[in-house]
Amino acid sequence: MYCVKCGVELEEGVKSCPLCGTAVWDPEPKPRTHHYNPDLYPVKEKKNRTTFLILITLIFAAIPLGCLIACLNYYGHAAWSAYVAAAFIFVYLAAVLPAWFPRYYPSIFIPVSFLALGGLLLFICLYTGGQWFLPFAFPVTGLAFLFTYGAYWLTRIGIMPRIKLRLIGVYFILLGGATILVELFLHITFPKPMFNWSIYTAGFFGAFGLFLFIASFIKRLRRAMYKKMFV
């Protein structure tokens, strides 16, 4: 039997040519004689992380509990051990929780991490009787989330390089603006002067972003930059 397309001789009983995939028409079909491989496929070994994760979880539960017991013994109420517990919950949600899943899902875990951070800050604010959560911690955490998520999205997105460069430029300009906002929130919440440091960061990020934004329109500059800076 021969493949009509490749002209090579084939084994008895094959249904298609292994080289080009052309179907083989055999007037007298025969069973396939030669088997290279046994009819087995390997079971992919999956690394079992469960034991390790359970151990980590136990440690994460045991340390705050120990602190709580110590606190109750000394003070009769949960004094500083509440902070420890809150911090451990935050670290667990941000770092250990993703490990329970087969892979890291950024669209879920990045928001979860920032929610946990927000929760931690809210707790500390309420526990200490502060007034700084709503005017300062909440918007700053929100901004940090937006920019982290934006950075992730920018690295993943598959678009033309020059458009991407333009977007990165915009990202840095916005980042510069965000630093002004952070100082504004500081100014509102605490008795701090406005425009003390943020003009420098905003100026730096803004200029860098503007440079990238402009460079994205100039082909020669882009090429020259790539030559010097590719990784």
Partner 1 sequence: MNRPWLRLDNAALIFPAVRNSRWVNTFRLSADLKDPVDPGVLQQAVEDLMPRFPSFYLRLGTGLFWYFLEEVKEVPKVRPEYAYPLTHMSVKEQRRCCFRVLYHEKRVAVEFFHVLTDGSGALIFFKNLLAQYIWLRYGEAAPLEEGLVDLKEEPREIELKDAFQRCSGQYPMSRREPTAYRLKGRPDPGGIIHVITGIIKTEDLLAAAKARGVTVNALLSAVMMDTIAEIQAAHMPRHLWKPVKVTVPINLRTVFQTETFRNFSLVLNIGVDPRLKDYSLEELCREYKNQMALEAVPEKMAARIAANVLPQWAPLMRAAPLFLKKIALKMIYNRVGERKGCINISNMGRVKLPAVMESYVERLDLMIGVQYTYPNNCAVVSYGDKTCINIVRNIQETELERRFFTRLVKLGISVRIESGEKEEEA
Binding site for partner 1 (CB under 8 A): 3, 6-11, 14-21, 32, 34-42
Least separation in angstroms between residue 17's CB and partner 1 is 7
Least separation in angstroms between residue 44's CB and partner 1 is 8
- Asked whether 71 and 80 are in contact (CB, 8 A), the reply is yes
Least separation in angstroms between residue 116's CB and partner 1 is 32
Least separation in angstroms between residue 126's CB and partner 1 is 47
CA atoms within 13 A on the CB side of 150: 15
Closer to partner 1 by CB, 34 or 228: give it: 34
CA distance 167 to 161: 10
Closer to partner 1 by CB, 24 or 112: give it: 24
47: DSSP letter: P
> What are the φ and ψ backbone dihedral angles of 166, each rounded to 5 degrees?
-60, -45
Least separation in angstroms between residue 228's CB and partner 1 is 21
Closer to partner 1 by CB, 22 or 155: give it: 22
Closer to partner 1 by CB, 41 or 51: give it: 41
Least separation in angstroms between residue 222's CB and partner 1 is 19
Residue matched to tokens 């200490």: 128
Closer to partner 1 by CB, 5 or 192: give it: 5
CA distance 85 to 72: 14
What are the angstrom distances between the C-alpha of 19 and each of 24, 204, 226? 12, 58, 41
- Asked whether 32 and 12 are in contact (CB, 8 A), the reply is yes
Max Cα-Cα span within the chain = 93
CA distance 149 to 137: 18
Tokens of 167: 């977007």
Closer to partner 1 by CB, 12 or 207: give it: 12
CA distance 173 to 150: 13
